[in-house]
Amino acid sequence: MLVHGFPFHSGMWSEQIGPLRKIGRVILVDLLGFGASAMNGATPATLTMDQQADAVAAALDYLKVREPATYVGFSMGGYVGWSFVRRHRARVDSLIMCNTRALADTPDAAQARRDMANSVEGKGHKLVIDALLPRLVSPRTLSQRPDVCARVVDLIEEAQLAAIAGAQRGMAERPDSTQLACELDLPVLAIVGEHDAISKREELEALTGRMRDATLAVIPDAGHMTVFENTTATNRALGEFINELR
C-alpha cells in the first residue's frame, strides 16, 4: 500500500509500481484532496493526518483487503502512517517510512505552513514551487537535473490549491509520534536521502536507533525526492526489505 507525499498524488510512485508488482499486490492510494480523491469544492479547510489515515482504511475496506499489509508512506504519507498504525494497527504488518519524520513541527515551522495555507489560494502554485522545490531536491538535482525538477513541478501543479492549504494545516497540527515509533512491534524500514533537507539523515539515524526493529537505508546522491533522484537505489532498498518479509 503506497501512500504519497505532499503535495503529490499516487502518480509519484510510477517508477516503483513495476518492480513492486513482481513481489506482490500493489495498492496505490490518493489521499483526500489529491489525485483521484480531489474533492472539487468540498475540501475541508484542514485535512488532518487522522482523517487521511481513516480514508486509507476505507480504501482497504473498499478493496476488501482484510489481511495486514506493508504500509509504505512517503513524507506526508509517513505522517499519515503514524496515524494509521495508531488507529488501524491490525491492518499493518510492516512499515516503510520514506523520507519522513516522527517529530512534530516546531512552532515556527507550523506557522510557516499556516501562512502558506492562508495565502496559497490567492497566490497560486508558484508560491508553493518557489518555497518547496529547493527543499525537495538536492542542490545538485536543482542545478543539474532539470528533468527531475520538471517532474516535481508538474506534480505540484496538478494539486488543487484548496488541498495544499488543507494538508498544510493538517500537517501543522500533527502530533509527535516518536514514542509511538519507539514502541512499535513491527519491522520498519526507514529510507532517507543523503542530502534530504526535510527529513534529515541524522534525525532518522537517531530515531531508528531507538526503535525496536528498524533499518535505515541512506540513498546516495538524493535529497528528499529519493524515488525520483535515485530510483535504482530506492527500489533496491524497497525490494530487499519486502522480499525479506515475505
Q: Which residues bind ligand MLT (CB under 6 A)?
A: 5-6, 75-76, 171, 198
Least distance CB 18 / ligand MLT (angstroms): 22
171 vs 207 by CB, closer to ligand MLT: 171
Least distance CB 25 / ligand MLT (angstroms): 24
End-to-end CA, the chain: 15
Least distance CB 177 / ligand MLT (angstroms): 13
Type of residue at 110: A
The residues, ordered by sequence, that sit 6+ positions from 102 with a Cβ below 8 Å of its Cβ are: 82, 176, 177, 178, 180, 181, 207
- Burial code (b: 16+ CB inside 10 Å, e: under 16) for 88-119 equals beebbebbbbbbbbbbbbeeeebeebeebbee
Least distance CB 76 / ligand MLT (angstroms): 3
91 vs 101 by CB, closer to ligand MLT: 101
Grid cell in block for residue 153:
513541478
43 vs 199 by CB, closer to ligand MLT: 199
26 vs 112 by CB, closer to ligand MLT: 112
49 vs 214 by CB, closer to ligand MLT: 49
Least distance CB 225 / ligand MLT (angstroms): 8
How far, CA to CA in Å, does 40 sit from each of 44, 117, 162? 11, 17, 9
48 vs 75 by CB, closer to ligand MLT: 75
E-assigned strand segments in the chain: 2-3, 28-29, 69-74, 92-98, 188-193, 214-219
* CB atoms inside a 10 Å sphere around CB 5: 27
Residue with cell 508538474: 154
The residues pairing with 188 across neighbouring beta strands, listed in sequence order, are: 95, 214
Least distance CB 130 / ligand MLT (angstroms): 15
